[in-house]
Amino acid sequence: MRAEKITAERLTTFSDGVFAVIMTVMVLELKAPDRAAFTALWPLWPTAISYAVSYLFVVIIWINHHHLMRFVGPPTLRLMWINFVHLFLVSFLPFATAWVAGTRLGSAPVVFYAGLFVCIDIAYNVFEHEVLAHANAAQVSTRMRHIARRRSLVVLAGFTIAMLVAIVAQRLGFGVICAALLLHLQPEAPGSRP
């Protein structure tokens, strides 16, 4: 039993390390202005906004990942691969963030950014489903599974809509991304507890 717990803890620890590296890489992309005036910060608003949204997204992913890992017994090889695919997709976030910031919320970069959120969320949904499907029934009720599934699908739909909207209205698409993120601020879906 102890060996099984260590394996789940190793998976969590590895994932935590990847999230920390991703956040570090994102902050390294922030460049200070050359001029020594507060007015020099104003042109950097796309960078600040895209960084803040990406940082919030990674934090939300980490919190939700941490929440789900409470329900993992001995992780299966399938679960580990799903987790690695999820982390792989999240690792593209610094690149997408830099592109959005560098183009001042350009249409193609925001479409790519939203598309990346769609891919990350699909991987998260698969991860969530795998964890909850094998979780102890005493820990995770059927109601909790259904509410989590519905919320995940609504968030995925939000990111997909954001991607499509960004084709014609990139700032509105970016706003839809932000709105969809709010649904995952709390790891446990509202109403999922009896």
What are the residue ranges of helices labelled H in the chain?
Answer: 2-28, 45-69, 77-90, 93-102, 107-133, 142-168, 170-182
Q: Indicate the DSSP class of residue 38.
A: G
Tens of pLDDT, residues 136-190 = 877 788 888 888 889 999 999 999 999 999 999 999 999 999 999 998 888 876 5
Q: Is the pLDDT of residue 1 over 70?
A: no
Beta carbons of 173 and 115 less than 8 angstroms apart = no
Looking at residue 187, its pLDDT comes to: 80
56, with CB counted inside 10 A (0-12, 13-18, 19+), is middle
Q: Is the pLDDT of residue 12 over 70?
A: yes
Residue type, 32: A
Residue type, 179: A
Minimal CA–CA distance to 87: which of 54, 65, 113, 118? Answer: 65
- Whole-angstrom distance, CA of residue 194 vs CA of residue 37: 55
3-class secondary structure, 169: coil
Structure tokens at 109: 């970069």
Looking at residue 106, its pLDDT comes to: 94
Cα-only R_g, the chain: 18
Prediction pTM value: 0.89
Looking at residue 192, its pLDDT comes to: 57
3-class secondary structure, 92: coil
Domain boundaries, the chain: 2-28+43-182
Looking at residue 189, its pLDDT comes to: 62
Tens of pLDDT, residues 83-142 = 999 999 999 999 999 999 999 999 999 999 999 999 999 999 999 999 988 888 777 888
